[in-house]
Amino acid sequence: MSGLRERQKADRHRRIIDAATELFREAGYEGAKIEAIAARAEVSIGTIYNYYQNKGDILGAIVSMEVNEVLNAGQGVVASPPANVGDALDTLIGIYIEHSLNYLSKEMWRQAMAISTQLPDSPFGQAYTGLDRELTKQISALIARLQEIGLVRVDIDGAAVGELIFNNMNMMFIEFVKRDEAKIPELRAAIRRQNRVLVAAIGT
């Protein structure tokens, strides 16, 4: 099962992703020519297209890794949230936002988001939509957890509130990556302010 071909394939995948990650950061998404990625990965252009349907999918693979890390980090908060609705939400959202620029620059985020709406049916488009859904579910799970603990009224529609909070956060994040000078603390403060009405309404 683990013949030479398998190992070579895995190795090429890694080399392509590594080369692309470096070049995207060095030259930006547009600036990173496929030819250059191929050269740095020591692979031909054709091989890249054998592994990824298009340039966007290469970026997509990088984005997916990052979002999966964030989802993982979020699990901890859902499992044992701060004992206060506002703080619980702020902590989870904080994890998302603070991790977001670890591997990806704002420009990479912009491109990734653009591609996911431009080509919703491409491999990456579908993966991105799936990741958004996972994040929404995680926020809803936090609300459900808070309902169990007795911090949130059990008669509120947790799924709907989770969607509302995620959609607002996501839109704010989109505006955030669109402005290079926008700063993380301001983003978090703005989202906290927007959530305040909601937090007051759903808390016990």
Partner DNA sequence: AAGAAAAGTTGAACCAATTCTAAAATTGAG
Partner DNA sequence: CTCAATTTTAGAATTGGTTCAACTTTTCTT
Cβ proximity to DNA: between 36 and 190 the closer is 36
Is residue 177 within 8 A of residue 109, CB to CB? The reply is yes
Contacts of a copy of itself in 113-152 (CB under 8 A):
113-115, 117-118, 120, 125, 129
Is residue 59 within 8 A of residue 115, CB to CB? The reply is yes
Is residue 100 within 8 A of residue 73, CB to CB? The reply is no
Shortest Cβ distance from residue 178 to DNA (Å)? 19
Using CB under 7 A as the binding criterion, the count of chain residues that bind DNA stands at: 24
Q: Report DSSP state, residue 101.
A: T
Show the DSSP H helices in 84-122 as ranges: 85-99, 106-118
Report if residue 62 touches a copy of itself, rule: CB under 8 A.
no
Q: x/- contact string, 175-204, with a copy of itself (CB under 8 A)?
A: x-xxx-------------xxxxxx-xxx--
Cβ proximity to DNA: between 63 and 139 the closer is 63
CA gap 3, 121 in Å, rounded? 33
Is residue 140 within 8 A of residue 194, CB to CB? The reply is no
Which one of 157, 183, 186, 204 is in contact with a copy of itself (CB under 8 A)? 157
Cβ proximity to DNA: between 9 and 133 the closer is 9
Q: Which candidate, 44, 136, 146, places its Cα nearest to that of 93? A: 136
- What residue has token string 């252009």? 45
The binding site for a copy of itself (CB under 8 A) comprises 110-111, 113-115, 117-118, 120, 125, 129, 156-157, 160-161, 163-164, 167-168, 170-172, 174-175, 177-179, 193-198, 200-202
